[in-house]
A and B are shown apart, each in its own frame.
Chain A
């Protein structure tokens, strides 16, 4: 049983398109995150939700919109994709919103052509 699962694993699309990445966790955790990992492996937080409420929103273009229908799901929708959006996007969860250990999904490699 995968604890944090995200789909799709690979996403190749043209500039200007809109795409979504889905994430689900079955750990019963309260907090979920989206991280972006660039080509140099630098991992940067984008968003954090605690019990469906947005608690962290780093400096991310408003083309990125997270949605949490319930505390087990956190989806990421990206409008008007740009070349610079190409990266690996990781979903993660933790028991609470504090500095707890994170459980990561396997990542979605987004390539914008």
Chain B
């Protein structure tokens, strides 16, 4: 299975701090995606990074991908209480559908 594994499982920080979550996977991928899930809601797509890309930005989000280490990281800068959610990485190889990890639960305290 090339299921992504997020690390840490849970992260608690103060508003204004940066939050870093990591994802490791097992086989070669086509792309890697990050999703956010607020409590009681569906997942929302945040960012997609292709296997030939190393870094991508979207607002306060920065995603890196290291295919040699089969890992990715999601950095949220200047976090806000509204960033409190679970964050999932999802991987796909070839033309297959996405496989999700178990997520990192982020708590941002005011």
Chain A residues with CB under 8 Å of chain B are: 4, 33, 35, 40-45, 48, 56, 90, 92, 97-99, 101-107
B48 touches A104 (CB 8 A): no
A90 touches B42 (CB 8 A): yes
Contacts of A103 in B (CB 8 A): 45
SS of B interface (majority):
strand
Tally B residues with Cβ within 8 Å of A. 27
A110 CB, nearest partner CB in chain B, Å:
14
| 6 closest Cβ pairs, A-B complex | A99-B92, A104-B42, A43-B100, A101-B45, A104-B43, A106-B42
A97 touches B43 (CB 8 A): no
B96 touches A99 (CB 8 A): yes
Rounded to whole angstroms, the CA-CA distance of A89 and B35 in the bound complex is 17
Given A33-B97, A97-B97, A99-B30, are A106 and B102 also a contact pair (CB < 8 Å)?
no
